Amino acid sequence: MPKVVDREQYRKELLNGCVELFAQKGYGSITMRQIAEGLKVSTGTLYHYFDSKEAIFMQLVQELCEQDISRFFAQAPEVETLEARLQVVMAFVLKSLQFYQQQMLLWVDFFQQNRTGSDEELQFLRQIWDGTRDATVDYLQLPNTELADFLMIFIDGLIIQCVYNRGIEDMDWFHHQSQLMIQMVCSHEQLSPQS
């Protein structure tokens, strides 16, 4: 009797295996053949699930973002104030900082290799940003998306600084910057007219 394969589950398993492969070799350096070898599957099997390396990467980005949002909401406590919710978000980022640094470097590598991304790729990545931003708006209970965009850009900046200038060891700096941002956002919210 032939083995029954849950195609979607198997596709996710292949994607999860790609995280480490992309991290080790970089997006630009790894080939479909090397990905197949690393996953211990045939190149034909890999092409059966993914049209290209770009398709693997795009689906991997989506999967990681969805997992990240689910993981956050599974552990996020119910807290009353915006300041407390921001503290929860920044603690989660700090706890996952090494993972986010790895993701950031992969994104930079991807964009270096695909300088002329297709409209479809750019639209897809915009949808990923929007989904993450909307989850941020929901958790923080913000009246609009502008503060969520600001927060996500701020976090990206912190991650970049940790990659290039600070390292994971400089957590006092990370915490200090987080506290400054939280004070600024909470002050902005207190000064904003209530709708």
Task: Map out the domains of the chain with their CATH numbers.
Answer: 7-191 (1.10.357.10)
pLDDT higher than threshold 90 for residue 168: no
Instruction: Count the neighbouring beta carbons within 10 Å of the beta carbon of residue 182.
Output: 19
pLDDT at 162: 83
pLDDT at 165: 72
**What φ, ψ does residue 167 adopt, rounded to 5°?**
80, 165
Half-sphere exposure at residue 127, Cβ-oriented, CA atoms within 13 angstroms: 12
Q: Is 129 helix (H, G, I), strand (E, B) or coil?
A: helix
pLDDT-based confidence at residue 195 (cuts at 50, 70, 90): very low
Q: pLDDT tens digits, residue range 84-134?
A: 999 999 999 999 988 888 888 888 888 887 766 677 777 888 899 999 999
At 120, which helix (H) or strand (E)?
helix 119-140
Mean predicted lDDT score pLDDT of the chain: 87
Q: Is 76 helix (H, G, I), strand (E, B) or coil?
A: coil
pLDDT-based confidence at residue 174 (cuts at 50, 70, 90): confident
Length of the chain: 195
Half-sphere exposure at residue 84, Cβ-oriented, CA atoms within 13 angstroms: 6
User: What is the biggest distance separating any 2 CA atoms in the chain, rounded to whole angstroms?
Assistant: 68
